[in-house]
Amino acid sequence: MPFVDEAKIYINGGHGGKGCRSFDRSLYFKHPKPNGGNGGHGGDVVVIADNKIHTLLDYKYQQHFSAPSGGHGGSNNKQGRDGQDCIIKVPLGTNVIDFETGYLLRDLEEHGQKVIVAKGGAGGTGNNNARVVGEGKPGEKRTLKLEVKLIADIGIVGFPNAGKSTLISCLTNARPKIASYPFTTKAPVLGNLEIDDTIMTIADLPGLIEGAHEGRGLGDRFLKHVEKTRILIHLIDISGVASEPIKNYQALNKELKFYSGALSAKKQIIVANKMDLPDSKNNLEEFKKVIKKRIYPISALEKRGIEELLKAIKKEYEKTISA
C-alpha cells in the first residue's frame, strides 16, 4: 500500500433551500395571507481529526465532497430542514490548507479537533417574511490540500544506505525493507521504542543527500515529518566504504538548515554505524578530531553499542519533556 501523505480535495457547502410562496386562502381572512416558510440552511463541510484514521489514502480515490442542500420551505410557515454537515475524517497531525492561496486553515492535532472548511448557503426567505421569495444561497466552494505530518518523538536522519532502516528494526518492531542500494526507503516508517516504562515513537526516514532542498534524491519533502520530533538521531556510515563520513555529516546538517532553522536547532544524537567494518575505527578517530561532539559507535547489523545508545535516547528524551 502506498504511503499517502498529501491529498487534494474539492468541497462544496450545501445550497440553501428555497423559500416557499404560499397563501392561506381560508375564508377566515379577507385577503389571502402569505404563509410560505423559509428554506433550510445548506450543510457545512467539516474536516475533523480522528485517531482511527492513519492515512489520506481514501482521498486518493474520492476527491469530491458536497454537503446536502437545505430543504425547501413549505406552506403553513413550515421551515425547510437544515442540510446535514459533510464530515471529512483525517489523521491526527493533518494540515488543512486552502489550495488556491496556500493559507493554512488549521493544524488538526488532537482527536475531535475540527474546522469548517466550506459553509453551507443560507436558506431563502419564504413569503411569510418577505414579499419576494428567496432562492437560497449557494454554499462555499473550495479546493483543499491535506497534508499529514507524522507525529514522532524521534527521527532518524542520514544519507542513503547509512543503515537507518536496519537501526529502526533493531530498536523496534518495525520491519522496513533493508537493501544495499540507496533510496530503499521511499516513505517514512514508524516504530515504537519502549525503554523501561517510556514509550517513544521513532520515524525512519528516506535518505537525504546534498541538494535535497533543491529536490535532489527524494528531496526534502519528508522532513516536514520530523519538524515536530523532540530529538534527531543523525546516523552516519562510518565505514567510509561508500562515502566520506565527515563530508556527509556536514552536508546533511546543511540540508536541515536549508529546510528550517527549527529543524537544525533540534538536539541530535550522533551515531556512527557499521563499526564492524575494517576502516571504521580509524574513520571514527578522524571524525572525532573534526567534529568535537559526543558520538555513539554502533553496529546496527550486529546489534552492538545499542545499550549505550538506548540510554542516551532516554536521557535526551526526558530532558525535552522536563524542559
Ligand X SMILES: Nc1nc2c(ncn2[C@@H]2O[C@H](COP(=O)(O)OP(=O)(O)OP(=O)(O)O)[C@@H](O)[C@H]2O)c(=O)[nH]1
- Catalog residues that contact Mg ion under the rule CB under 5 A: 164-165, 184-185
Regarding 266 and contact with ligand X (CB under 6 A), the answer is: no
Q: Which stretch binds ligand X (CB under 6 A): 127-135, 176-184, 187-195, 313-321?
A: 176-184
d(CA 220, CA 252): 11
Q: What is the Cα–Cα distance from 48 to 68, expressed in whole angstroms?
A: 18
Type of residue found at 21: R
- Which partner, ligand X, Mg ion, none, binds residue 300 by CB below 5 to 8 Å per kind? ligand X
Least distance to ligand X, CB of residue 46, Å? 38
Question: Which CB, 13 or 176, lies closer to Mg ion?
Answer: 176
With beta carbons less than 8 A apart as the criterion, state whether 297 and 272 touch: yes
Q: For 7-23, b where at least 16 C-beta lie within 10 A, e where not — what string?
A: bebebbbbbbbbbbebe
Query: For the residues of 8-34, what is the DSSP string, one character each?
Result: EEEEEPPPPPPPP--EE--TTSSS-EE
> Considering beta carbons, is residue 127 or 161 the nearer one to ligand X?
161
Which one, 19 or 207, has the nearer CB to ligand X? 207
156 or 313: whose CB is closer to ligand X? 156
233 sits near ligand X (criterion: CB under 6 A): no
220-to-127, 144, 163, 187, 206 alpha-carbon distances in Å? 59, 22, 19, 11, 9
Residue list 188-217, contact with ligand X (CB under 6 A): 206-207
Residue (19 or 217) nearer to ligand X, CB: 217
List, as one string, the DSSP characters of 67-131: PPPPPPPBTTTBPPPPPPPEEEEE-TTEEEEETTT--EEEEE-STT-EEEEEPPPPPPPPTTT-S
Residue in 231, 214, 322, 317 with CA at minimum distance from that of residue 269: 231
3-state secondary structure at position 202 = strand
Residue 29 interacts with ligand X (CB under 6 A)?
no
Contacting residue, 132, 179, 199, 321, with ligand X by CB under 6 A: 179
Q: Provide the grid cell at 130.
A: 418577505
From 5-13, 37-45, 87-95, 163-171, give the range in contact with ligand X by CB under 6 A.
163-171
Nearer to Mg ion, 72 or 164 (CB): 164
What residue 29 binds from Mg ion, ligand X, none (CB within 5 to 8 A, per partner kind)? Answer: none
184 binds ligand X (CB under 6 A): yes
Provide, rounded to whole angstroms, the least separation between the CB of residue 299 and ligand X: 4
Least Cβ distance, residue 122 to Mg ion (angstroms): 53
Smallest gap from residue 261 Cβ to Mg ion (A) = 27
Q: Which is nearer to ligand X, 136 or 163 (CB)?
A: 163
**Which residues are 69's β-sheet partners?**
none
Interaction site with ligand X (CB under 6 A): 158, 160-166, 178-180, 182-185, 206-207, 273-274, 276-277, 299-301
